[in-house]
Chain A
Amino acid sequence: MNMIQAINSAMDVTMARDPSIVVMGEDVGYFGGVFRATAGLQKKYGKTRVFDTPITECGIIGVAVGMGAYGLRPVPEIQFADYIYPALDQLVSEAARLRYRSGGEFTAPLTVRSPFGGGIFGGQTHSQSPEGIFTHVSGVKTVIPSTPYDAKGLLIAAIEDNDPVIFFEPKRIYNGPFNGHWDRPAENWSKHPGGAVPEGYYKIPLGKANVVREGEAVTMLAYGTMVHVCAQVVADTGVDAEIVDLRTLVPLDIETIEASVKKTGRCMIVHEATRTSGFGAELAALVQERCFYHLEAPVERVTGFDTPYPHSLEWAYFPGPVRIGQALKKILKD
């Protein structure tokens, strides 16, 4: 399966098991979603469980919160993460706090799916990585898969989780892993082990990272598309890096991170999102606090620049093999 098919399968499998699950969003019903993630679901489960919505993100999430209060388990889609901002009040002030402020009387078991990330010439409003906004909010979980296998297992876990989950889908790797070499032919998931996805039900627990490559020289912390870019740079340079795919940003798998950095003594953080106050800053702080006496070099952050995401200058902005390669040289020099 590619990642779209895996995500579609996750919703299909969970909807068949639990009649309280509803899928909603712009173009998700009859049409099956602009990325085809919900294709066929309305036909299979009916219009009251899979339906198109008006174009109002605050409405989509607000309505989903109300449905959750009734006892449904909504899976709303925000067409692009760049368009999640109108829903921020409902996510931050309502969904994230409902359990806390009501003493557990009401909960918001939503899973907000949204395509995110760049590398597709999406320009300013089809490329953003706003995960840092959500990791800063207490009461929501933030999940970002990097393979079809993970996408399905994590999405099923997210839908069944009783807390609100922001599920960001790196759209650059919907059809195949992206190694950062934009000038080489695209790959598809059929040749990648992460593309082998069981048809049925399985879960990957939230809050558990995945060590995708073991190594001794440096720890690379990444998620989403950047996991694959890191892996390619490591293959290209021959550096014996340990690559940790975080998968869930909140709650974070701190044990896996700590064990890896204490082993390697070096830590590099890689994300597409802009640098200042990005999630990398939190990771760097945690590593510094917990692994200070094991660190042999300053923690490196390889990120997008602190600019809006550009169109024609995409590959100058994107933290690709050159930027990561230089950072690797720097961190290994000391």
Chain B
Amino acid sequence: MPEESDVVDALSNLKPLSLHVPEPKFRPGDAVDFAEVAVPAAGSVRRPDTLAPAQDFTDLAYTMVRVLDEDAQAVGPWNPQLSPDRLRRMLRDMAMVRAFDERMFRAQRQGKTSFYMKSLGEEAVAVAAAHALDDEDMCFPSYRQQGLLIARGCPLVDMMNQIYSNTGDKLQGKQLPIMYSEKRFGFFSISGNLTTQYPQAVGWAMASASKGDTRIAATWCGEGSTAEGDFHSALTFATVYRAPVIFNVVNNQWAISSFSGFAGAEATTFAARAIGYGIAGLRVDGNDALAVYAATAWAAERARTNAGPTLIEHFTYRAEGHSTSDDPTQYRSAGEPTAWPLGDPIRRLKDHLIAIGEWDEDRQAAMDREVAEAVKTAQKDAEKNGILGHGLHQPLDTLFDGVFEEMPWHLREQRQQMLDEETASGRPWARK
């Protein structure tokens, strides 16, 4: 039995505890040097069998699957060997996403809508995944996967109608801009609450499996929201029931103003989270459309053969502010987006197509003009249905529709109250 004084002595030999609070490498005004970001050579990472047990993936969770090398050639075992046609379609979809983002961002600045979120620099994450999945597979996206909708052929004008909350908005102006719902394109209703879609995707996948279906589910969240409890519950459910689901963590380094260290990135990777759950984990160059495609196709095959879920960390960079309400110069160096070592996903795929002789700068310029024109035309069409800046476009009574399947008495009473208010105001809005 040690004497009390011995214990005190032993403690006094220790340095006082200190609390570690993560801090990003660069703040506004700092010169940026990403030399510490480990970028393995393209083609250097092995491609395991899709049926391999989850514990065989530890090395893959700490490296990075890359296909496009410094010479813009597709190399290594993950090269998905896509046809030039497919590559060109992916390139065009990514360019369309960028053009769409650009135009809608400007529309927000012009007061045509209240809010927008770009996906600049992350176009490959959504577009290449959409190309690797079957159209019937169900996507549970976060708010930055507009590329899924565009790649799956959702009319731009429908997306814009939602952004403008106009008469063409099938969500009746009830949802914040970009919170799309497109069941016909396998795109689940977006919620503002982060990562709630993760267990929902697992449930959908479990339902598909229990019904003997062949469809799988895929879901996306940012690296910041992996800290949510739903992330843990989803991965637990997925491993327990071997659900046919693909978890995508889009690690774009920033959650609004918080760098990825506040989600735990200083100590490990997000792909490595999978290992503890017994889930296959891949870490992928998220700015390499071929790597994203290959990893998604691999995970889809794994899911479709009942071999279980996969978590894919897409290592990328959020090149813009978080949203139109955010100013990133307040918390990070303006040099970061251009210094990012993985480059621009569109430029990299373009360079690859040129390198293999299937594309050239003239065709690229023509395509850029064409997608810009398509976005502009869609915008004109959407604005015929009105813009948010012009006020309400929905029949007033729709406010109460869809709370329940059938409207209970208390909602009917409140609806009448609202209609009476509008009559009294002398400027009644349209009604059904």
CB of B83 closer than 8 Å to a CB of A: no
Q: When the two chains form the complex, which single residue of B181, B204, B232, B410 contacts A102, counting CB atoms closer than 8 Å? A: B181
Known: A59-B236, A66-B199, A66-B200. A103 touches B188 (CB 8 A): no
* A54 lies within 8 A of B240 (CB): yes
Q: When the two chains form the complex, which single residue of A59, A67, A86, A252 contacts B207, counting CB atoms closer than 8 Å? A: A67
Q: When the two chains form the complex, which single residue of A48, A101, A251 contacts B174, counting CB atoms closer than 8 Å? A: A101
* A58 lies within 8 A of B233 (CB): yes
Please indicate the chain A residues that have their CB under 8 angstroms from the CB of B236 in the complex: 54, 56, 59
Interface string of B186-214 (1 = CB under 8 A from A): 00110111001011111111111011000
Q: State which residues 336-362 of B face A: CB under 8 Å.
A: none
* A101 lies within 8 A of B171 (CB): yes
In the assembled complex, the Cα of A132 lies from the Cα of B183 at a distance in Å of 33
Q: When the two chains form the complex, which single residue of A68, A86, A106 contacts B229, counting CB atoms closer than 8 Å? A: A86
CB of A229 closer than 8 Å to a CB of B: no
Please indicate the chain B residues that have their CB under 8 angstroms from the CB of A97 in the complex: 191
Known: A59-B234, A59-B236, A105-B181. A99 touches B402 (CB 8 A): yes
* A63 lies within 8 A of B206 (CB): yes
CB of A71 closer than 8 Å to a CB of B: yes
Q: When the two chains form the complex, which single residue of A53, A63, A99 contacts B403, counting CB atoms closer than 8 Å? A: A99
Q: How far is the CB of A105 from chain B (nearest CB, A)?
A: 4
- Which of A54, A66, A98: most chain B Cβ within 10 A? A66
Q: How large is the interface on A (under 10, 10 to 19, 20 to 34, 35 or more residues)?
A: 35 or more
* B189 lies within 8 A of A98 (CB): yes
Q: Please give the number of chain B residues whose Cβ is less than 8 angstroms from any Cβ of chain A in the complex.
A: 46
* A67 lies within 8 A of B237 (CB): no
Please indicate the chain A residues that have their CB under 8 angstroms from the CB of B196 in the complex: 62, 89-90, 93-94
Please indicate the chain B residues that have their CB under 8 angstroms from the CB of A53 in the complex: 237, 240
* B233 lies within 8 A of A62 (CB): yes
In the assembled complex, the Cα of A257 lies from the Cα of B220 at a distance in Å of 48
- Which of B200, B402, B408, B410: most chain A Cβ within 10 A? B200
Interface string of B138-149 (1 = CB under 8 A from A): 101000000000
Interface string of B174-185 (1 = CB under 8 A from A): 110001011100
Q: When the two chains form the complex, which single residue of B171, B188, B403 contacts A69, counting CB atoms closer than 8 Å? A: B188
* B409 lies within 8 A of A106 (CB): no
Known: A106-B183, A252-B410. A63 touches B199 (CB 8 A): yes
* A70 lies within 8 A of B402 (CB): no
In the assembled complex, the Cα of A69 lies from the Cα of B197 at a distance in Å of 11
Please indicate the chain B residues that have their CB under 8 angstroms from the CB of A3 in the complex: none
CB of B71 closer than 8 Å to a CB of A: no
In the assembled complex, the Cα of A251 lies from the Cα of B404 at a distance in Å of 10
Q: How far is the CB of A89 from chain B (nearest CB, A)?
A: 6
Q: When the two chains form the complex, which single residue of B174, B200, B203 contacts A103, counting CB atoms closer than 8 Å? A: B174
- Which of A102, A107, A207, A252: most chain B Cβ within 10 A? A102
Interface residues of B (CB under 8 A from A): 138, 140, 170-172, 174-175, 179, 181-183, 188-189, 191-193, 196, 198-208, 210-211, 217, 229-230, 232-234, 236-237, 240, 402-405, 408-410
Q: Mind listing 29 A-B residue pairs with CB under 8 Å?
A: A49-B210, A54-B233, A56-B232, A59-B202, A59-B234, A59-B237, A62-B199, A63-B203, A64-B203, A66-B204, A67-B204, A67-B207, A69-B204, A70-B138, A70-B204, A70-B207, A70-B211, A90-B199, A93-B196, A94-B191, A97-B191, A100-B174, A101-B189, A102-B189, A103-B171, A107-B405, A138-B403, A251-B409, A251-B410
Interface residues of A (CB under 8 A from B): 22, 48-49, 53-54, 56, 58-59, 61-72, 74, 86, 89-90, 93-94, 97-107, 138-139, 141, 161-163, 207, 250-252, 254
Given contacts A102-B171, A107-B405, 5 further A-B contacts (CB under 8 A): A58-B230, A62-B198, A69-B188, A99-B404, A103-B170
